[in-house]
């Protein structure tokens, strides 16, 4: 039986550990590289678990652990390289260094005391889209 003849039967013949690691890696890669089809492969893992290829609890644990690990990795990448990536992507519409320092220190001043302010216009995040100076092009 080959992958081209019957991919489901070939996947069911894999050892359970391979399926669990594949689900973990798919969930992790989905956070780090968003165009990756992680949800589709996690659902495939649950389908194969329902067919008896691996215990469903192991697939669930692998999907949850991969999602947590991926979100931590994405946060660390954003924390380390976020401002440099923002500058490279849109050099004209980036927040000022002062605004970034204010937002990262938690002392952002805006129109609402309970929410952070918009890094582009200084207004509240709940401000309608048309009122933001960066969104309207002013």
pLDDT band at 11 (very low <50, low <70, confident <90, very high): confident
**74-84 pLDDT, tens digit each:** 899 888 888 77
Q: What distances in angstroms separate CA 125 from CA 25, 56, 65, 115, one per listed residue?
A: 34, 41, 31, 7
Q: Looking at residue 99, what is its pLDDT? A: 73
**36-65 pLDDT, tens digit each:** 888 899 999 999 999 888 999 999 999 999
- 75, HSE (Cβ side, Cα atoms, 13 Å): 6
**110-138 pLDDT, tens digit each:** 444 445 555 555 555 554 444 554 444 44
Q: Looking at residue 25, what is its pLDDT? A: 94
Continuous segment of H or E residues that includes residue 46: helix 38-50
Q: Looking at residue 94, what is its pLDDT? A: 60
Q: Looking at residue 60, what is its pLDDT? A: 95
The domain segmentation of the chain, as residue ranges, is 1-94, 95-138
Residues composing the chain: 138
């Amino acid at each position: 039986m080959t992958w081209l003849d019957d991919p489901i039967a070939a996947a069911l013949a894999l050892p359970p550990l391979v399926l669990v690691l594949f689900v973990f890696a798919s969930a992790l890669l989905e956070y780090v590289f968003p165009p990756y089809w992680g949800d589709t492969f996690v659902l495939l893992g649950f389908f194969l678990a329902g067919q008896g290829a691996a215990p469903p609890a192991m697939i669930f644990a692998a999907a949850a652990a991969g999602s947590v690990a991926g979100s931590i990795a994405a946060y660390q990448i954003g924390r380390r390289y976020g401002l440099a990536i923002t500058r490279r992507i849109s050099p004209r519409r980036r927040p000022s260094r002062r605004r970034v320092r204010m937002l990262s220190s938690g002392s952002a001043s805006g129109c609402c005391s309970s929410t952070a302010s918009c890094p582009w216009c200084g207004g509240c995040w709940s401000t309608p889209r048309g009122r933001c100076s960066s969104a309207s092009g002013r």
